[in-house]
Structures are given as C-alpha cells and as structure tokens.
Chain A
C-alpha cells in the first residue's frame, strides 16, 4: 500500500514568487495535515483539512493557504514568498476526523532565494 506522497521533492523559488506543494494521503485517509519544519527546528503546525474543509490552522499569515480536493489529496500554496519560508514542508494523513496516528510523507524542501 502506498504511503503519503508529496511533490515536488525540492523546489527553488525567489522572493515574491508563489509556491505550490502537493500531497496525496494514504488510501482511505480523509484528514490531511501540513507542517513546516525550518532547519534545525521542530514541526510547526500549518493546516488541517478533513472531508474537503479546512478544520484548523496554525499561527501562520494568510499567504499560507491550501485546499483539499474530492479525492482527499491536498495542496499548500505559499504566496509572496519570503526568505524565511525556506523549510521542509511535511504532509501527514490520518483516518477521518483526525483520528489515529499520523502517517507522514517525506516532505518537500522549499528554498527561497
């Protein structure tokens, strides 16, 4: 069974540009979480989607947004990129309504120049 998959693996952008990251959850999982992990730091909660709706978001500015599609895949959009947005962006999925353990993808490393 395929795990959580994320794309792209690496992404390089310049300040002011927009980045789009994608995530496919494990089959049967309807909850998708996004985390940001800056170099040497812990995981910071970004967004949680379940059944196509945003259920909760962390302390990030509105230029961090996303959506969940009918097939439960998700994308994270970061607008007006800033240098400090450089980080590993991790996606995780779980069973419906945030139950059970999280299964993480390998992440998308975003570098902003």
Chain B
C-alpha cells in the first residue's frame, strides 16, 4: 500500500472549516483514499473515501488533486466534538487475492484540536 504523510497536529476554531491535508505521492491507479478519525480511546470511525472525484457526505468533503498525489479532508463547520486524530490511508479496492489490500497502514495521523 502507498504511504501517506500528514501533519502531526492542527488547530481550528469552532465554526470554521477544518482542512486536513494528506500526501500520497506513490498512490497507484487502483488505490482509494480513505479517511478515518479516532476520538480519544474509542475505535476509529469511517468518514469518507474516494478514487479520483471529489466526494461529499454528511460528515465531510474529500478533495483529491487531479494527479491524485494529495487530498484534503474538509470539515465545513468544525465543532468541539470533531477533536480527534484523523487518519488518511490508501487502499486497494480489491479482493483478498490482492495481497497488500489488507495491510492497511494507518500511521500516526493528524491530531485536530477544535477550540472555542
């Protein structure tokens, strides 16, 4: 699986948009970008994923650059409850015969602190 690079920490004022960057310069054509977050001492929570088009759901938006070497997760109106560690991972959307599909490497993520 391609490796990702994220800033270790970011701050955001409540009510503002939080833009979390992720670099994945070695991403392959069949690898998706997934975002998860982990609130303190809880299990990680799925947020959003995409291949090459921008995606939006009720939680966030995902912007993927045209060359797919980087992406940005956008929380449009951050709240205190969004304080968490955000993980960007890339993953082959294939079956078990794609051996590396299962080795999802989460890394250390970005610790987002939302403040009043």
A residues apposed to B, CB below 8 Å? 4, 31, 33, 35, 41-43, 45, 48, 50, 55-56, 58, 88, 90, 92, 96-99, 101-107
A56 near B103: Cβ-Cβ < 8 Å: yes
Instruction: Find out whether the CB atom of B104 lies under 8 angstroms from the CB atom of A45.
Output: yes
Residue pair B95, A99 in contact (C-beta under 8 Å): yes
Residue of B nearest to A43 (CB): B106
Report the nearest A residue to B106, measured CB to CB: A43
* Residue on A nearest B45 in the bound complex, by CB: A104
Flag if A101 contacts B43 (CB, 8 Å): no
Q: Say whether chain B's binding surface is mostly helix, strand, loop, or mixed.
A: loop
Supposing A102-B46, A107-B43 touch, asked if A97 and B95 sit within 8 A by C-beta, the answer is: yes
Q: How far is the CB of B13 from chain A (nearest CB, A)?
A: 26
Q: Give the number of chain B interface residues (Cβ < 8 Å).
A: 25
Please measure, in the bound complex, the distance between the C-alpha atom of A2 and the C-alpha atom of B35, giving whole angstroms: 22
With A98-B96, A104-B44 known as contacts, the answer to whether A33 contacts B102 (CB < 8 A) is yes
* Interface residues of chain A: helix, strand, loop or mixed (majority): strand
- A90: which B residues are within 8 A, CB to CB? 43-44
User: A45–B93 contact, CB under 8 A?
Assistant: no
A residues less than 8 Å from B42 (CB atoms): 106-107
Quick one: closest A residue to B49, CB to CB? A101
Q: Which residue of A lies closest to B99 (CB)?
A: A56
Complex partner residue of B105 from A45, A96, A101, CB under 8 angstroms: A45
Q: Which of B45, B49, B108 contacts A42 (CB 8 A)?
A: B108
> How far does the alpha carbon of A31 sit from the alpha carbon of B106 in the complex, in Å?
18
